[in-house]
Structure 1
Amino acid sequence: MSATRLQDVRFFEGARNVFIANSAFHVETTKPSGFDVLKHIIAPSAFHNSGECYDLPRCHPRTREALLRTLMSWVCEGLDRKAFVFWLNGSVGVGKSAIGRTIAEMCERERLLLSSFFFSRSDPTRNNAKLFVTTLAYQVALAVPPARRLIEQAFEDDPVIHTRSLEAQMMKLVIEPLKQAAAARIYIPPLIVVDGLDECVDRSMQCKILDIVHRASISLAAAGRRLIFLVGSRPEQEISLRFDSASLQDITICYTLGDSDDSDHDIRRFLDDGFSEIKKSHPLKSSLPSSWPNSDNINELVWRASGQFLYAHIVIDYTRNIRHRPIDRLSEVLALFVKQANNPFKDLDVLYTHILSSVENVDRVLEILGLHFAKFTSKGFAFSDIVHDRLGLDYEDVKLLFGDLSSVVDVVTTPERGSYTWKMNLQHASLEEFLTNQHRSRQFFVNVEPSVVEWVSWVLQNDLVDHPQHVDDLELAFRRLKSCKSQEFHNVLRDYHLGFLLSKPSLQACAPIGDLVYFTIAQIQMMAFKDSQLLYESQLRVFESQVQLVLGKLYSQPAYTPLLLNDFTTTAYDSTGAALCYMLGVGGTEILPDPLGLRLRWAESQQWLSFLSAFVCDPKRSLQFRVNADRLADAALALIQILSHPVSPTGLIARTLADCKKSLRNRAWITHRVRHTRLAPGKWFKWRFCDLCWKARTPKAGCHGYHEAVPTLAYRASPRSPLIILHSSSELLAYRLALTFLSDMLAEASRSTELIECCRECVFHPTSILFPRKAKIARRAMLKYLERMEAEERGWWLD
Structure 2
Amino acid sequence: MFPSYWCIRGPPSHPIQQLRLAAESDGASIPLCAVAARYDYREQRRPCLEGTRVGVLTQVREWMGDTPGGHEGVKSEPTIFWINGLAGTGKTTIAYTVAQECHGAGNLGASFFCSRDNAQCSDPMFVFNTIAYQLGIYHPPFRAAVSEALKVDPLVVYGSVSRQIEELIVEPMRMVDFPPCIVVVDALDECKDDQSTSLVLSSLSLHLETLSPLKFLITSRPEHNITTGFASDRLQPVTNQLRLHDVGLDVVETDIRRYFCQRLGEIRGSYDIENPWPSENDINALTQMSGGLFIFAATTVVFIEDKNYSDPVDQLHRLLHTARISGSSPHQHLDSLYLQVLDNAFPQISKELAGRLKAVLGSVVLLQDPLSPLDLKHLLGVPLHSVRATLKHLHSVAMVPDTDDRPIQIIHPTFAEFITDPSRCTNNTFTLAPQMQHTLLFRQCMLAMVQLRRDMCDIRDPRKNNVDISDLPERIQTRIPPYVQYACCHWASHLKRGSVSVAILDSLREFCTKRLLFWIEVCSVLGALSGAIRALHDARGFLEVRFHHFHSR
TM-score tier, shorter chain, comes to: 0.7 to 0.9
Asked whether 1:132 is paired with 2:127, we answer: yes
CA distance in 1, matches of 2:485, 2:511: 17
Range 462-471 or range 330-339, more displaced: 462-471
- Could you tell me how far 1:523 is from its partner in structure 2? 5.8
Asked whether 1:438 is paired with 2:422, we answer: yes
CA distance in 1, matches of 2:142, 2:507: 53
Q: Which amino acid aligns with 2:417?
A: E
Give the match for residue 507 of structure 1. 521
TM-score (norm 2): 0.77
CA distance in 2, matches of 1:266, 1:353: 25
Question: After the TM superposition, which residues 180-329 of structure 1 pair with which residues of structure 2 at under 5 Å, given as runs?
Answer: 180-182=175-177, 188-204=179-195, 207-221=198-212, 226-258=213-245, 259-260=247-248, 261-282=250-271, 285=272, 288-322=273-307, 323-329=309-315
> 1:179-198 deviations in whole A, cap 9, x for unaligned?
4433xxx6x14211111111
Q: Alpha carbons of 1:35 and 1:449: their partners in 2 closer, same or farther (altered >3 Å)?
A: farther
Which segments of 5 or more consecutive residues in structure 1 lack a partner in the other structure? 1-6, 15-31, 415-419, 534-799
CA distance in 1, matches of 2:171, 2:126: 18
Give the match for residue 393 of structure 1. 383
- Could you tell me how far 1:254 is from its partner in structure 2? 1.2
> 1:206-247 deviations in whole A, cap 9, x for unaligned?
6332234344442244xxxx4211110111222223323333
CA distance in 2, matches of 1:365, 1:469: 21
CA distance in 2, matches of 1:494, 1:247: 46
Which segments of 5 or more consecutive residues in structure 2 lack a partner in the other structure? 8-23, 66-71, 454-483
CA contact (8 A) 2:117 2:366 kept: no
CA contact (8 A) 1:459 1:465 kept: no
Q: Alpha carbons of 1:280 and 1:399: their partners in 2 closer, same or farther (altered >3 Å)?
A: farther
> 1:322-379 deviations in whole A, cap 9, x for unaligned?
3242222112222245543231211110110111011234613233111223435447
Asked whether 1:403 is paired with 2:396, we answer: no
CA contact (8 A) 1:84 1:252 kept: yes
Q: Give the 3-state SS of the residue equivalent to 1:192 in structure 2.
A: strand
CA contact (8 A) 1:89 1:257 kept: yes
Q: Alpha carbons of 1:469 and 1:11: their partners in 2 closer, same or farther (altered >3 Å)?
A: farther
Give the match for residue 437 of structure 2. 451
Asked whether 1:38 is paired with 2:30, we answer: yes
Q: Give the 3-state SS of the residue equivalent to 2:337 in structure 1.
A: helix
Range 263-272 or range 335-344, more displaced: 335-344
CA distance in 2, matches of 1:376, 1:464: 21
TM-align CA RMSD: 3.7
- Could you tell me how far 1:469 is from its partner in structure 2? 7.2
Q: Alpha carbons of 1:161 and 1:232: their partners in 2 closer, same or farther (altered >3 Å)?
A: same
Tell me which structure has the larger Cα radius of gyration.
Answer: 1
Q: Alpha carbons of 1:446 and 1:180: their partners in 2 closer, same or farther (altered >3 Å)?
A: same
Q: Alpha carbons of 1:201 and 1:265: their partners in 2 closer, same or farther (altered >3 Å)?
A: same
Q: Which amino acid aligns with 1:171?
A: E
> 1:534-584 deviations in whole A, cap 9, x for unaligned?
xxxxxxxxxxxxxxxxxxxxxxxxxxxxxxxxxxxxxxxxxxxxxxxxxxx
Give the match for residue 89 of structure 1. 84
- Could you tell me how far 1:438 is from its partner in structure 2? 1.6
CA distance in 2, matches of 1:508, 1:294: 59
CA distance in 2, matches of 1:12, 1:164: 12
Q: Alpha carbons of 1:468 and 1:424: their partners in 2 closer, same or farther (altered >3 Å)?
A: closer
Give the match for residue 478 of structure 1. 495
2:343 to 353, 357, 360: 357
CA distance in 2, matches of 1:339, 1:57: 29
CA distance in 2, matches of 1:202, 1:332: 41
- Could you tell me how far 1:84 is from its partner in structure 2? 1.4
CA contact (8 A) 2:452 2:519 kept: no
Q: Which amino acid aligns with 2:214?
A: L
Q: Alpha carbons of 1:213 and 1:359: their partners in 2 closer, same or farther (altered >3 Å)?
A: same
> 1:589-612 deviations in whole A, cap 9, x for unaligned?
xxxxxxxxxxxxxxxxxxxxxxxx
Instruction: Pick 1 or 2: higher relative contact order, CA cutoff 8 A, min separation 6.
Output: 2
- Could you tell me how far 1:106 is from its partner in structure 2? 0.5
CA contact (8 A) 1:143 1:189 kept: no
CA contact (8 A) 1:484 1:527 kept: no
Q: Alpha carbons of 1:504 and 1:293: their partners in 2 closer, same or farther (altered >3 Å)?
A: closer
Give the match for residue 145 of structure 2. 150
CA contact (8 A) 1:498 1:517 kept: no
CA contact (8 A) 1:113 1:192 kept: yes
CA contact (8 A) 2:74 2:180 kept: no
Q: Give the 3-state SS of the residue equivalent to 2:515 in structure 1.
A: helix
Give the match for residue 22 of structure 1. none
CA distance in 1, matches of 2:33, 2:283: 44
Give the match for residue 334 of structure 1. 320
CA distance in 2, matches of 1:527, 1:203: 20
> 1:673-692 deviations in whole A, cap 9, x for unaligned?
xxxxxxxxxxxxxxxxxxxx
CA distance in 1, matches of 2:39, 2:298: 21
Q: Alpha carbons of 1:377 and 1:192: their partners in 2 closer, same or farther (altered >3 Å)?
A: closer
TM-score (norm 1): 0.55
Q: Alpha carbons of 1:160 and 1:392: their partners in 2 closer, same or farther (altered >3 Å)?
A: closer
CA distance in 1, matches of 2:519, 2:504: 27
Q: Give the 3-state SS of the residue equivalent to 1:191 in structure 2.
A: strand
Asked whether 1:345 is paired with 2:331, we answer: yes
Q: Alpha carbons of 1:173 and 1:64: their partners in 2 closer, same or farther (altered >3 Å)?
A: same
> 1:247-298 deviations in whole A, cap 9, x for unaligned?
322222111224223221111110000110011112xx2xx33122222221
- Could you tell me how far 1:88 is from its partner in structure 2? 0.8
- Could you tell me how far 1:66 is from its partner in structure 2? 3.1
